[in-house]
Amino acid sequence: MGFGGAFTEAAAYTLSQVSPDKRQEVIESNFDQEQGLGYTIGRIHIHSCEFALENYNYVEDNDVDL
């Protein structure tokens, strides 16, 4: 299927705090096929996780219609 990693809210927040040049460097180091890791897929979490900035849930409790 491909090769990739998990992208968390904490990582995205941290990335948003650095300069645009450093942000581009991180993106290239992950996705560039020649100089980077060559990621082709990425996984994100649904709801909060241990790497979220706060606790939240997108689904109501006992939502049987989901």
Q: What is the rounded end-to-end Cα distance, in angstroms, of the chain?
A: 27
| Alpha carbons 45 and 5: distance in angstroms, whole number | 11
Q: What is the mean pLDDT of residues 16-21?
A: 96
- Side chain identity, residue 65: D
**5 token code pair:** 């990693």
Whether pLDDT at 50 is above 90: no
Domain boundaries, the chain: 4-44
Query: Which is more confidently placed, 61 or 10?
Result: 10
- Identify the sign of the CA torsion 44, 45, 47, 50: negative
39-48 per-position pLDDT tens digit: 999 988 777 8
Query: What is the reported pLDDT for 55?
Result: 86
Global pTM? 0.68
**13 token code pair:** 């927040």
**Mean of the per-residue pLDDT values for the chain?**
89
